[in-house]
Amino acid sequence: MDDLLRRYGRGLTWGFVGLTFFWLVILVILPDFKLLESSFRPYLPVVDVGGPKDTYSINNYLRIFGGEVPMSIFGFEVLISPRVKVLLYTLWYSGVVTLVTFLLAYPLAYYLAKIVSPKSLPTLFLLLFVPLWVSEVLRSFAWWIILALKGPLNAVLIALGIIDTEIRWISGYSPVIIGLVYTYVLFMVFPLYNAMQSLDSNQIEAADDLGAPWWRIHWRVILPHSKPGIASGAVMVFMLSAGSLLVPAIMGSTTSGWFTQTIQGIMLEEQDWNTGAAFAFMLLTICTLVVTLAMWVFKVKLSDIAK
Amino acid sequence: MQKYSRILFHVYMGAFLIYLLLPLLVMGGAAFNDSKLPTIIPWKGFTDQWFIAMWNDNRIWIALRNTVLVAIAVVIIAVPVGTAGAILVNSINGRVRSILYGMMVAPILVPGVVIGISTLLFWNQFSVGSGLHLSVLGQVSYIASFVMLLVLARLQSFDQGLEEAALDLGATHAQVMRRILLPHLYPALGAGAAISFFQSIENFNVTLFTRGGADTLTVYVFSKVRSGITPTINALALLLILFTLGIAIWYEVSRRRRARIEAAREAEGRRAEDAELA
């Protein structure tokens, strides 16, 4: 701080502090507090706001329960409220998306970091970056076209003789997973690549010379070294998937609810901002827990993830 | 065996690129199909009617104008705010630094839905109604984090001795800032502005909850996809892709040219040094 004052003088230093304050306090912290505060208040007509009925309670949070639908969890049939079911499915399938993107990205990152000649890297990266420049809504739309009942995918599969009749792809959660994997796979590739790139190739060669089979080299040398990259990619993909609204809304059907869609319904259709705040806060809490858990399991810091 | 696996990896890379790019081609191709539904199968002949329909669609133009205005506002606010944050974090040490840094990075991980709703509720209590101005504030809250990370990375290579020297030689604080610090940061500021602009154009979650009744392009496309679409959207998509690709390629080419010039200059410098020694 003294350092800043000495270099830039009082005016500029206050400028830096003021701008940072505006960002962190006015744009981030206070709105989040307001979110928390609103989530405990009832949804009332305007005349009753601030009146005797306007008391704090956890009723909004309890609205996640209510109603019962069957759901099978690890083979057990249980009765559960539809909103909890949607939340559990959201978390579960976000995990699935994370795993699939990891499996897709790992060989690619290894190829980019250790196999391909460095000369072709810039071109490859330019090509890989193309989809990132295209907005999410258009990327989901592209898959919506491909997976349509009379769409190109079914046509190609029938022409190849792999299937006889068209498959209804847009049903259940699979199109949502396909869309999310396509949209977020690059967020797994780049951190993995960064981590692998810093591994000394001599270590791989040493393991190879000492007779380790290829899978063992990956399991004992490359994978442990890539741990920060895996953590960072997994956290990014999981958060983006669980927080995505576009992809589930475009690719989903009536049988695939996403928790963000639940929040959207409460906020924009029921116009109940207080319950919306409660559910949004739940989403935030759960996401924070997942990030903390991932950092703890992989023993990495927040600064490693944000790279 | 070695050779085998190399070929396998090359094939995988190729397949992955096809997987990434083919859907975009399919979507772009459907813009030229003379069919009422956006598809490439069956191919009913070439047409440019969807581009004409798009040109005549007034809502698209309004949405485009809104999108660009929001993006410009986001750049104007997010770049100074993120830069100030980076300079501040860079000048302190220890525990305060890691807390401040954590607070600045965290918004990237917060779901857009949460940012949108909290921004809406916060400003609503001061009777600031929803609208694109709130979308700007909501977007800045996490886009500034990207700027902060870029500027902070650039500050690592900054030689503070230059500032000391300037101060010793009698420069004012404003001069130190304008003539020494900012020129060093220009590449990061440029990249930060570009990222802010595109992040803002892409944004959906924050905008959806804060926009009031106004459309941006993403929201417009989304509403069209949900409610009966014609290939007009494909025409729009194709133009957007070509536009962003053009900028991306231009950016990459100019970056490479700069890198080449810099490398040449360094080589020149080294030669001059060698000549002096000899």
The letter for the amino acid at B31 is: A
Inform me whether the pLDDT recorded for A137 exceeds 90.
no
How close A16 gets to chain B, by Cα (Å)? 5
Q: Which of B105, B118, B233 sits opposite A31 (nearest CB)?
A: B118
Q: Given this model, what pLDDT does residue B278 score? A: 64
- pTM for this structure? 0.87
How close A18 gets to chain B, by Cα (Å)? 9
Interchain proximity B117–A263, CB inside 8 Å? yes
Q: For the beta carbon of residue A265, count every other beta carbon within 10 angstroms.
A: 14
Percentage with pLDDT > 90 across chain A: 29
Q: Given this model, what pLDDT does residue B229 score? A: 73
Q: Given this model, what pLDDT does residue A232 score? A: 87
Q: Which residues contact A97 (CB under 8 A, 6 or more apart)?
A: A177, A180, A181, A184, A237, A238, A241
Q: Given this model, what pLDDT does residue B176 score? A: 86
Q: Closest Cα partner for A151 from B45, B203, B197, B30? A: B30
Please state, in angstroms and rounded to a whole number, the distance separating the CA atoms of residues B163 and B198.
Answer: 33
Q: Does the residue A15 lie in any domain?
A: no
CA of B22: how far to CAs of A256, B16, B58, B169, in Å?
Answer: 26, 10, 30, 60
Range in A110-119, B22-31, B220-229 the model is least confident about: B220-229
Tens-place pLDDT, residues B171-199: 888 888 888 899 999 989 998 998 899 88
Angle at which helix A82-110 crosses helix A186-197, to 10 degrees, equals: 40
Q: Does the residue A142 lie in any domain?
A: yes
Q: Does A122 touch chain B (CB under 8 A)?
A: yes
The DSSP string of A115-130 is IS-GGGHHHHHHHHHH
* Phi (first) and psi of residue A131, to 5 degrees: -60, -30
CATH number at residue A94: 1.10.3720.10
Give the model's confidence band at B221: pLDDT under 50 very low, under 70 low, under 90 confident, else very high: confident
Q: Which residues contact B95 (CB under 8 A, 6 or more apart)?
A: none
Q: Does A40 touch chain B (CB under 8 A)?
A: no
Q: Given this model, what pLDDT does residue A9 score? A: 82
Inform me whether the pLDDT recorded for A307 exceeds 60.
no
Q: Which residues of chain A lie closer than 8 angstroms to B105, CB-CB?
A: 302-303, 306
Q: What residue has token string 């080419």? A: B253
Q: Closest Cα partner for B71 from B241, B190, B188, B194? A: B194
Q: Does A268 touch chain B (CB under 8 A)?
A: yes
Q: Given this model, what pLDDT does residue B249 score? A: 82
Q: Given this model, what pLDDT does residue A278 score? A: 92
Q: Which of A28, A155, A291 sits opposite B109 (nearest CB)?
A: A291
Tens-place pLDDT, residues A216-237: 888 888 888 888 888 889 988 9
What is the pLDDT of chain A when averaged over all its residues? 85
The interface predicted TM-score (ipTM) is 0.86
The DSSP string of chain A is -HHHHHHHHHHHHHHHHHHHHIIIIIIIIHHHHHHHHHHTS----GGGTTSTT----SHHHHTT--S-EEEEETTEEEEE-HHHHHHHHHHHHHHHHHHHHHHHHHHHHHIIIIIS-GGGHHHHHHHHHHHHHS-HHHHHHHHHHHHSTTSHHHHHHHHTTS-SS----SSTTHHHHHHHHHHHTHHHHHHHHHHHHTS-HHHHHHHHHTT--HHHHIIIIIHHHTHHHHHHHHHHHHHHHHH--HHHHHH--TT---HHHHHHIIIIIS--HHHHHHHHHHHHHHHHHHHHHHHHHHT--HHHHT-
Q: Strand runs (DSSP E) across chain B, as ranges?
A: none
- pLDDT greater at residue A303 or residue A164: A164
Give the count of domains, chain A. Answer: 1
Angle at which helix B182-202 crosses helix B232-277, to 10 degrees, equals: 160
Please state, in angstroms and rounded to a whole number, the distance separating the CA atoms of residues B147 and B81.
Answer: 8
Q: Closest Cα partner for A109 from A31, A48, A188? A: A188
Please state, in angstroms and rounded to a whole number, the distance separating the CA atoms of residues B72 and B201.
Answer: 10
Helices (H) and strands (E) in chain B, counts: 12, 0
Q: Which residues contact B84 (CB under 8 A, 6 or more apart)?
A: A15, A16, A17, A18, A19, A20, A23
Tens-place pLDDT, residues A163-219: 888 778 777 888 999 999 999 999 999 999 998 988 888 888 888 888 888 888 888
What is the three-class DSSP state of B42?
Answer: coil
Q: Which residues contact B63 (CB under 8 A, 6 or more apart)?
A: B215, B216, B217, B219, B220
Q: Does A216 touch chain B (CB under 8 A)?
A: no
Please state, in angstroms and rounded to a whole number, the distance separating the CA atoms of residues B237 and A134.
Answer: 9
Please state, in angstroms and rounded to a whole number, the distance separating the CA atoms of residues A52 and A247.
Answer: 42
Inform me whether the pLDDT recorded for A1 exceeds 70.
no
* Contact of B165 with B99, CB cutoff 8 Å: no
Q: Which residue of A has its CA nearest to B109?
A: A239
Residue A95's domain spans which residues? 81-305
How close A239 gets to chain B, by Cα (Å)? 7
What is the pLDDT of chain B when averaged over all its residues? 87
Q: Does the residue A58 lie in any domain?
A: no
Tokens describing residue A155: 């046509």
When scoring A17, A29, A135 by the number of chain B Cβ atoms within 10 A, the one with the most, hence best to mutate, is A135
Q: Which of B101, B111, B160 sits opposite A284 (nearest CB)?
A: B111
When scoring B50, B118, B140, B141 by the number of chain A Cβ atoms within 10 A, the one with the most, hence best to mutate, is B118
Q: Does the residue A6 lie in any domain?
A: no
Interchain proximity B204–A245, CB inside 8 Å? yes
Q: Which of A110, A250, A267 sits opposite B225 (nearest CB)?
A: A250
Which domains does chain B show, CATH number per domain?
58-238 (1.10.3720.10)
Tens-place pLDDT, residues B97-144: 889 998 998 898 889 999 999 999 999 888 888 889 999 999 999 999
Q: Which residues of chain A lie closer than 8 angstroms to B39, CB-CB?
A: 145, 148, 150-152
Please state, in angstroms and rounded to a whole number, the distance separating the CA atoms of residues B177 and B183.
Answer: 9
Interchain proximity B119–A122, CB inside 8 Å? no
The DSSP string of B188-223 is HHHHHHHHHHHHHHH--HHHHHH-TT---HHHHHHH
Q: Given this model, what pLDDT does residue A188 score? A: 93
When scoring B8, B36, B114, B224 by the number of chain A Cβ atoms within 10 A, the one with the most, hence best to mutate, is B114
Please state, in angstroms and rounded to a whole number, the distance separating the CA atoms of residues B35 and B94.
Answer: 63
Mean pLDDT of the A13-39 span: 92
* Contact of A88 with A257, CB cutoff 8 Å: no
A25-34, A164-173, B257-266: which has the highest mean pLDDT?
A25-34
Q: Does the residue A184 lie in any domain?
A: yes
Q: Given this model, what pLDDT does residue A4 score? A: 80
Please state, in angstroms and rounded to a whole number, the distance separating the CA atoms of residues B193 and A261.
Answer: 31
Q: Does the residue A112 lie in any domain?
A: yes
Tens-place pLDDT, residues B131-161: 899 999 999 999 999 999 999 999 988 888 8
Q: Does the residue A218 lie in any domain?
A: yes
* Contact of A275 with B251, CB cutoff 8 Å: no
Give the model's confidence band at A154: pLDDT under 50 very low, under 70 low, under 90 confident, else very high: confident
Q: Does B158 touch chain A (CB under 8 A)?
A: no
Residue A71 β-bridge partners: A78
Cis, peptide link before residue B42, omega less than 30° from 0? yes
Please state, in angstroms and rounded to a whole number, the distance separating the CA atoms of residues A279 and A273.
Answer: 10
- pLDDT greater at residue A303 or residue B125: B125
Tens-place pLDDT, residues A48-90: 777 777 778 888 888 888 777 877 777 777 788 888 889 999 9
Q: Does the residue A1 lie in any domain?
A: no
Q: Given this model, what pLDDT does residue B87 score? A: 92
